[in-house]
Amino acid sequence: MSKAYVNDERHPDLPPPASTVGAVGWMREHLFSSPANILMTVVSIGLLAYVVPPMVSWLFTSAVWSGGADACRANPDAACWTFVGARFDQFVYGFYEKTERWRVDIMLILLFAGIAALVYEKTPGRKWIGMFMLIGYPILSWIMLLGGDWGTPNISLYNVIVVLLPIVGIALLSYDRLPSARTIGIVLTAFYLLAIALLLGLTAAGKTELWIGSTVIYSLVRLDTIIITLIPFLGLFALTKSGEMERRGTIGIAMLVVFAILVLGFFFDLPAPSSLDMTLVDRVVVVSMVEVPTKQWGGFMLTLVIALTGIVASLPLGVLLALGRRSNMPAIRVLCVVFIEFWRGVPLITVLFMASVMLPLFLPPGVSFDQLLRALIGVALFSAAYMAEVVRGGLQAIPKGQYEGADSLGLTYWQKMRLIILPQALKIVIPGIVNTFIGLFKDTTLVLIIGLFDLLGAVQASIADPNWNAKSVAYTGYVFTAFVFWVCCYGMSQYSRYLERKLHTGHKR
Amino acid sequence: MKFKTLLAAGAAIAFSTTMASAATLDDVKAAGKIKCGVSQGLPGFSNPDDEGNWSGLDVAFCRAMAAAVLGDSNAVEFTPLSAKVRFTALQSGEIDVLSRNTTWTATRDNSLGLEFVGVNYYDGQGFMVRKDLGVKSATELSGAAVCTNTGTTTELNVADYFRAQGMDYTVVAFEKADEVVAAYDAGRCDVYTTDRSGLAAQRVKLADPEAHVVLPEIISKEPLGPAVRHGDNQWGDIARWTLNAMINAEELGITSANVDEMKGSDNPSIKRLLGTEGSVGADLGLGADWAYNIVKQVGNYGEVYDATVGPNTPLKLDRGVNALWTQGGILYAAPVR
């Protein structure tokens, strides 16, 4: 009798068939799983074999890495990296003053450090760094890059009035019995009518200024004379019309904002009414650096300035516009729709061209804005319109129940948007937002047509140097530009994918 | 109709305001620099060098003006302009002088609100073909595919020429000179046409420069020169005489190297030009040493030509018609007296 064989321990797992594991298995599954797949694999490998070796040879192995233009002329069928080396500073800084380039370096280092700190999640004080990068950094870079003298303005009669007016306004507003509002309205109406009469009278008399003795008391060309008289008038007129205190608060804040703009306007030396220009206290200069006019800005630095301004300005503006477009208030809705459709309806080239070339034709002589500033405003408004539509898409994707839920909690409009709707809506449209950013980043090259040399412009201008007239120079320059743009855009897109994964909360289908 | 009238009135006002600010000289002196419009990179005429300084024949003219007006050839702010925006930039006061290889034509001079002050390079449009085509003359180009730039007079000249000769042709047009050259080099067209100075500049970029030949025909006159805003005659005079001074200096043998000793010359023409005699500078509203500064800091026309586009530069352009009238060319400047 044979002994019964009983296996008292589990048979060890057999290894999977050799053909399904390791490199072979992977290839069988992914590259050669079906005839179509095999065909595609073979074609792809063939294509790579056809393209990659000459590319590697052109880019690296036979490329010119040292020597001058002669070395490149001698080797016309390979990249001329010495050209990029010789012109690297120009590609980064454009025509920026050579002795002042450390300022750009500092801002670039700050920028990259800031971005790194924001991307890395465990950075202490990340919120504050974010605030700084959004608000402090742009101001700081403007000061650092432009240079010149920065400090307190001259304290003039104008400043005093601009500072005192809102204080008086607040005092009036906080005084809850305001029966004289109607009287104020009448007085101001009379005042403004007088101003208009003066304006018309001067125009009719063919003069631009009204003099008493040797003091100019009213000047036509100073646009803000009119604005200054108009704004408080409008504000207080609105006050007399509205009895509710909450409204008054809003109007008061609006007036404050306008005055703040006027103060800033003086700070940046916009024209002020000359009669008020009397200096009481001389200005105190805090920082003094060599001024580098924006005409000299260029290269990658300019690309970054334009792209980052557009990006930083377009998101908040776009959110506001999107909310405005879905607002229940007809005036705001119409304004936003008109704004968005106007900017979406014109090409960016037109915007830049109008801003840089046509605008000065319509401004009074002597009044001019900085060329770059004009371009920046154009780019920011343009991208804000696109951003608004992207954000609106997100807002529409949020189910109505979310809005109603927020309402039923008794949240105000802004609470509802800030706490419930926007966090969800913005998360949905991250790909769209980043898409707009990337588009904007690449659109910065269009500033070339208004005479600003961004990275591409700097490269193209350098190619024209007859001392670098080798055949490969142009190709090398363009390849370099393409690589820099690819790195930036791919970086943005990778970060957006990471953000999507991080914020993914289970709604993904 | 009414709207159109309104628009025209608006444009008239816009232009009149720019013309009202006529005294460019005062503005320039107040600003301490001349705003000069140049190309966005044209080899030998205006391009940035390795150091990031603008150089070239057109650039040198602006530097000469700065030397004459402000006494410092570096007091120039260069604004690179595309072909499309150059005239508007001048009209709007964005720049004070346009020195951007611009062809002087009647339409531009008379209807665009600008004024050409002279010619700093006599160019003409030519053709380049492959040697192996065996073409000896442009009259044999019937049926050819022609590579050219868009939006310039070049394209129009080709159309005129081929129509006048009763020949067929196909245009292959591109925005950038580099693209045109690449297309021609790749054989997408039989003929490459642009100004002859451009042909010379681009030829070195071809795979085998020796395999191509420039045909003898010149199908257009392209007098390239600087322009200023119409209506400011004083500023126009300064620009015109800056150019004349550079040409006269070459004719009189004054160079940047010998200008100091020339100041002691007995030749009355030299004395008048360098301001040791007469009041030419004061008449222009400039200092007596205006021309001295030009020659000292920038050089005479010949020096500038040799340094930027001449036979010893990569462009290798012979003086040709751009030589002085005394040397077989057509450069002839009005005398300073």
State yes or no: pLDDT of A345 exceeds 80.
Answer: yes
Q: Residue A309 pLDDT more than 50?
A: yes
Cα torsion at B285, B289, B291, B295 (round to 10°)?
-150
Q: Which of residues 199-258 of B touch A (CB under 8 A)?
A: 201, 204-207
pLDDT at B5: 39
Distance CA B273, CA B286 (A): 13
CA–CA separation, B196 and A30 (whole Å): 58
* Stretch 6-25 of chain B: residues touching chain A, C-beta under 8 Å: 14-15, 17-18, 20-21
Query: Tokens at residue A60, please?
Result: 């690296």
Residues of chain B found within 8 Å of residue A362, distances taken between Cβ atoms = 14
Q: Tell me which residues of chain A, numbers 470 to 489, contact chain B at a CB-CB cutoff of 8 Å.
A: 470-471, 474
Residues A378-383 have a mean pLDDT of 93
Tell me the shortest Cα–Cα distance from B116 to chain A, in angstroms.
Answer: 21
Largest distance between two CA atoms of chain A: 139
Q: 3-state SS of A174-232?
A: HCCCCCCHHHHHHHHHHHHHHHHHHHHHHHHHCCCEEEECCEEEEECCCHHHHHHHHHH
Most confident of A170-184, A185-199, B82-96: B82-96
- Residues constituting chain B: 337
Number of A:B CB contacts under 8 A?
110
Q: For residues A260 and A377, what is the distance between their CA atoms, to the nearest angstrom?
A: 19
- The Cα–Cα gap between B56 and B201 comes to 13
CB < 8 Å to B82, chain A: 448-449, 451
Instruction: Identify the CATH homologous superfamily for domain A295-452.
Output: MetI-like (1.10.3720.10)
Predicted local confidence at residue B258, as pLDDT: 94
Pick from B204, B257, B235, B201: which is nearest to B57 by CA? B201
Exposed, middle or buried: residue A32 (CB in 10 Å: 0-12, 13-18, 19+)? middle
Q: Give the Cα separation of A38 and A33 in Å (integer).
A: 7
**In whole angstroms, what is the distance from residue B257 CA to residue B260 CA?**
8
Q: What domains can be seen in chain B, in order of their start residue?
A: 23-120+225-322 (3.40.190.10), 124-221 (3.40.190.10)
CB-based contacts of A339, cutoff 8 Å, min separation 6:
A321, A385
Residue in chain A nearest B93 by alpha carbon: A360
Identify the top-confidence range among A171-175, A409-413, B209-213: A409-413
Residue B316: φ, ψ to 5°? 50, 45
**A75 pLDDT exceeds 60?**
yes
How many CB atoms are closer than 10 A to CB B290?
26
Residue B65: which residues within 8 A CB-CB, separation 6 or more?
A: B34, B36, B76, B97, B238, B239, B242
pLDDT tens, N- to C-terminus, chain B (337 residues): 333 433 443 444 344 444 444 589 999 999 999 999 998 888 889 999 888 899 999 999 999 999 999 999 999 999 888 877 888 888 888 899 999 989 898 999 998 889 999 999 999 999 999 999 888 888 899 999 999 988 677 888 999 999 999 999 999 988 777 788 889 988 899 999 998 888 887 887 787 888 898 888 889 998 999 999 998 999 999 999 999 999 999 999 999 999 999 999 999 999 999 999 889 999 999 999 999 999 999 999 999 999 999 889 888 888 989 999 999 999 999 999 8
Contacts of B313 in chain A (CB under 8 A): 466
Helix (H, G, I), strand (E, B) or coil at B263: coil
Q: Which chain B residues are within 8 Å of A465, Cβ to Cβ?
A: 41, 43, 47-50
With both helix axes pointing from N to C terminus, report the angle between A430-443 and A471-503 in degrees, rounded to the nearest 10. 160
Which chain A residue has the Cα nearest residue B88?
A: A357
Q: B223: which strand partners?
A: B122
**Are A360 and B44 within 8 A, CB to CB?**
no
Residue pLDDT, tens place only, A126-155? 888 988 988 889 888 988 898 887 766 555
ipTM of this model? 0.81
Task: With both helix axes pointing from N to C terminus, report the angle between B233-251 and B290-297 in degrees, rounded to the nearest 10.
Answer: 60
Q: Determine how many CB atoms are found less than 10 A away from the CB of residue B264.
A: 10
Q: What's the pLDDT tens digit per position in A233-280?
A: 566 555 555 555 555 566 666 666 666 666 565 555 554 444 455 555
Task: Measure A360 CA to nearest chain B CA, in Å.
Answer: 6
Q: What is the pTM of this model?
A: 0.77
Tell me whether A293 touches chain B (CB under 8 Å).
Answer: yes
Q: Where are the domains of chain A?
A: 24-61, 124-283, 295-452
d(CA B293, CA A409): 80
The per-residue pLDDT for B8 is 40
Using CB atoms, which residue from B92, B204, B206 is nearest to A361? Answer: B92
Strand extents, DSSP E, A381-488: 453-454
Looking at residue A504, what DSSP letter applies?
-
Coil vs helix vs strand at A460: helix
Average pLDDT over residues A97-113: 92
Instruction: Indicate the residue of A89, A360, A461 with minimum beta-carbon distance to B40.
Output: A461
Q: Residue B2: what pLDDT?
A: 38
| CA separation for the pair B169, A124 (Å, rounded) | 70
CA distance B111 to chain A (A): 17
Above 50 in pLDDT, residue A351?
yes
Q: How far is CA B222 from CA B23, B42, B64, in A?
A: 30, 16, 23
